[in-house]
Structure 1
């Protein structure tokens, strides 16, 4: 009986360790742990391409931080979003950040220049040295230019659009991600984040 309990406990521990999220071990996200959620994204099966700035503006009016009873942000709320300048490959992108506990904690470290790693042909990620408050949920679809937190400490910048089954805490998005993939390049990339003076 003791042997059966011990075996059960070992199996439970093994399953639990396999389900732990990305951005840990081997200096980054284990590819096998997230490829399922990004099914086909790097191969174009679920890819929907880069969004136009008009479609990205709609994202500003549909904050992930809204309660279920609210349909969209007002123009005034959109103006209150924090503006961020993201620089990659010598190209500057304007981003909007949601006003949340997570983004406020992230910006305590501003400005930041990070060496972000490549994953799945659709994202760059960086393991932050500290965990941030997270409110993860499944967005169902990722859009090029989305900036999200995976787990509590993995900062992710997506440069392709695709469907996902993974849970993220939305941080914000690039207003016009055109050329982002090219600017980030194929391997790791140096990306700077700085609050805009505007």
Structure 2
């Protein structure tokens, strides 16, 4: 067993003091005002817009690599195909990063990624055993099913 000499104990005291100062600063009102308590997320804008015909829907986005890459591609016009009378999908030209999970219940207004290249908008709530990557959710899905209709439709995704 090694006994700490004076120089070692002083170094540990300094490291401990620095750790305590960082902890105190991260929970202080100054940290809140300066927003230094958490690292930047990389998502400057967490809302994207979806336009179907004349109707416009705000989409609250998740903060993940797939949404950051999707936002970098907008504006994006997609011809979306109806599937099972509950969703519209379109295959993207380039794949997106994935973080798959099984939602169990898919909600009206969910914007999900199936596989790495299929963008899906759900206009009905139902249960599913499939896995998706979460991209976002339409803030107010009132009128979404009517806007998307039962046939194929052109949808525009934009940042504003």
Please confirm whether the aligned pair reaches a TM-score higher than 0.5, indicating the same fold.
Answer: yes
Stretches of structure 1 that go unaligned for 5 or more consecutive residues are 1-76
Instruction: Choose 1 or 2 for highest CA Rg.
Output: 2
Indicate which of 138, 142, 151 corresponds to 2:102.
138
Report what 2:6 is aligned to: none
Number of matched residues? Answer: 119
Q: Distance in 1 between matches of 2:45 and 2:64?
A: 10
Deviation at 1:81, TM superposition (A): 6.1
Report what 2:131 is aligned to: 167
TM-score by structure 2 length? Answer: 0.71
SS across alignment from 1:165: coil
Aligned-CA RMSD value: 1.6
Q: Distance in 2 between matches of 1:81 and 1:171?
A: 14
1:23-172 equivalences in 2 (<5 Å): 82-172=46-136
Q: Distance in 1 between matches of 2:59 and 2:45?
A: 10
Q: Distance in 2 between matches of 1:149 and 1:139?
A: 12
**Stretch deviating more after TM superposition (102-111 or 166-175):** 102-111
CA contact (8 A) 2:50 2:158 kept: yes
SS across alignment from 1:190: strand
Report what 2:37 is aligned to: none
Report what 2:155 is aligned to: 191
CA contact (8 A) 2:111 2:120 kept: yes
Q: Distance in 2 between matches of 1:84 and 1:130?
A: 19
Which runs of at least 4 in structure 1 moved beyond 2 Å after TM superposition? none
> More strand per residue: 1 or 2?
2
CA contact (8 A) 1:81 1:96 kept: no
- Which digits, 9 at most, give the CA deviation of each residue in 1:114-160, with x for residues without a partner? 11011000000000011111011100110111000000000000000
CA contact (8 A) 2:106 2:127 kept: yes
Report what 2:17 is aligned to: none
CA contact (8 A) 2:48 2:71 kept: no
Stretches of structure 2 that go unaligned for 5 or more consecutive residues are 1-40
